[in-house]
A and B are shown apart, each in its own frame.
Chain A
Amino acid sequence: MQDELNTPPAKLHIDGVSKSFTSKRGKVLALESATLTVDEGEFVCLVGPSGCGKSTLLNLVAGLEAPDTGSVMMDGKRVTGPGSQRMVMFQEHALFPWLDVLGNVMFGLKLKPGLNDKERVEVAHYYLKLVGLERVMRASIHELSGGMRQRVALARALAPNPRVLLMDEPFAALDAMTREQLYADIQRINQARQRTVLFVTHNVREAVCLGNRVILFSPNPGRIREQFVVDLPRPRDINDPALAGLAGEITRALKGHTRVQSAE
């Protein structure tokens, strides 16, 4: 089981990826030639207004969509479809209401070969403990608060030990207090079990609080614009003035890109 818990994180290469969708108003270029490299164990935040292609990029890395051009590679292997090496945490928790908390965390584990049932239960317990929910293992999903649901979703995504964790605005629907608690949890958990993380958000402060790097996107068409390295010491507090200063700088840069866009 120890080996199971210690698979190293993966390196991501996103190379010249474009993706368009056909809607009622015609063809929309959601993402235009995006190129990005994410190192092993790096926490990268994708920031931008809605329609800038950040969620599209996440779905492409997940393998839920296929790029029109370009390629997504994980450790030199091309991503051709979804797989448990890359787990996704969605904005809505996407937990299964017909299963209890433990059942939800077990879902992905049961699809993982090389473990027996006893080991699976042990792994599930480990992660539920990590997110602080071992006491509500038998609860139904509808009985949990929004923050607890996202914690279950996090445990479910971490349990099969993916090499990459993809998070699509996972805290957007939560209140500020709950979010702050989860920022602390995420940092603590990522220290214990380092993964390569792509984290989509429209909240710049959140991105600065969590990420090693913040990537700025602009919409119409979705493009990668600029990136900032965040080397503030961890654990970070979202109310820290230095963090707020950097977030302000990034927000100004983001507004600049968006304004240029709307003037075009």
Chain B
Amino acid sequence: MKRFFIALTFFASLILIWHLLVKTGIWSPVLLPGPGAVGEYLGVALQDGSLLSASWVTIKRLLAGYLIGCLIGLPLGLMTARSQTLNDTLGVLALGLQTLPSVCWVPLALIWFGQSESAMLFVVIMGTLWSVLISVDNGVRNLPPIYTRAALTMGSSGFHTLRHVILPASMPYVISGMKQGWAFAWRSLMAAEIYVTLLTGYGLGHLLHFGRELNAMDQVAAVMIVIVVIGLLADKVLFSPWERFLHRRWGLNG
């Protein structure tokens, strides 16, 4: 409870400072609207549904791409960790592509898929896939061999060892890889939405883009806040439970 109040005070003071800065005229309200104006926009946009529908469009794209990226990256990472040949080929490719900022996939996606949902999905998958693959690979590679030996002597083998020993044992790596993949996916999707206008649905990136075109700084600031809040919520909902589990079991700092 104490921690909650400290956090609350911190954010309240942040808004207060912002308000005072705008009020004293140090910053022009055209360039930076005050918290009141931004709040007003948020209220209106929430009521007319435009903000919620944009958030929903964005989250749908993100979840779909992220899920597919994880589903491909997980088995591929297991495979590159187990096979030297795959590691020398696919592993090197993954390492290279992981360093590529995922925004760089946007032009390619546009040429391949046109201005479509597929292009968005492709960019998000590319943002997720490689970092998930590499951390699963790392996790399995750094597994103490004694775990699988112990499992063998207890009568475990093959798929049972994979499911009940190798996967859970590499969990600290897998979780941090999935978290990184999530961050990359989120960033790449925002970039894609700002660049590409789709008629199949306006996401938060589009709202941001239109805000700039209309010089509606209250909209720009409000959408940015929404993006930050969604990122925070995703972290708390998707990853915090896992990190708490890791902390309890492994005694790691998570």
Contact = CB atoms under 8 A, between A and B. Distances in A.
A111 B155 CA distance: 6
Interface secondary structure of A, over-half rule:
loop
Interface stretch (A82-90, A210-218, A246-254): A82-90
* 10 A-B pairs closest in CB distance: A142-B251, A108-B154, A84-B155, A98-B168, A94-B150, A111-B155, A82-B152, A88-B153, A94-B146, A82-B153
Given A92-B146, A98-B168, A112 B249 contact: no
Given A96-B147, A111-B160, A87 B251 contact: no
A74 to B, nearest CB: 14
A228 interface: no
A64 B157 CA distance: 12
A140 B251 contact: yes
Contacts, number: 66
A82 B151 CA distance: 10
B169 interface: yes
Given A64-B149, A90-B146, A92-B146, A98 B154 contact: no
A160 B156 CA distance: 13
Given A64-B149, A98-B168, A112 B155 contact: yes
Nearest to A59: B149
B171 interface: yes
B165 interface: yes
A29 B217 CA distance: 77
Nearest to B152: A82
Contacts of B150: 88, 90, 94, 96
B248 interface: yes
Nearest to A86: B153
A96 B250 contact: no
Interface of B: 146-147, 149-156, 160, 164-165, 168-169, 171, 248-251
B249 A64 contact: no
Contacts of B151: 107
Contacts of B249: 97-100, 140-142
A126 to B, nearest CB: 18
A62 to B, nearest CB: 6
A143 interface: yes
A94 B149 contact: yes
B147 A87 contact: no
A156 B249 CA distance: 18
Range for the number of chain A residues in contact with chain B: 20 to 34
Contact of B155 (A83, A94, A96, A100): A83
A64 B152 CA distance: 8
Interface string A58-88: 0000111000000000000000001110111
Contacts of B171: 98
Contacts of A160: 154-155
B94 to A, nearest CB: 26
15 contacts: A63-B153, A64-B152, A82-B153, A82-B155, A84-B153, A86-B153, A96-B165, A97-B169, A100-B249, A107-B164, A108-B154, A111-B154, A143-B251, A160-B154, A160-B155
Name the residue among B150, B152, B156 with the largest chain A CB count within 10 angstroms.
Answer: B150
Nearest to B146: A94
A96 B155 CA distance: 15
A91 B154 CA distance: 16
A161 to B, nearest CB: 12
Nearest to B170: A98
B250 A142 contact: yes
B155 A97 contact: no
Contacts of A83: 153, 155
Contacts of B168: 96, 98-99
B146 to A, nearest CB: 5
Nearest to B154: A108
Interface in A86-132: 86-88, 90, 92, 94, 96-100, 107-108, 111-112
Nearest to B248: A140
Name the residue among A97, A99, A156 with the largest chain B CB count within 10 angstroms.
Answer: A97
Contacts of A92: 146
Name the residue among A87, A88, A98, A140 with the largest chain B CB count within 10 angstroms.
Answer: A98
Nearest to B156: A111
Contacts of A141: 249
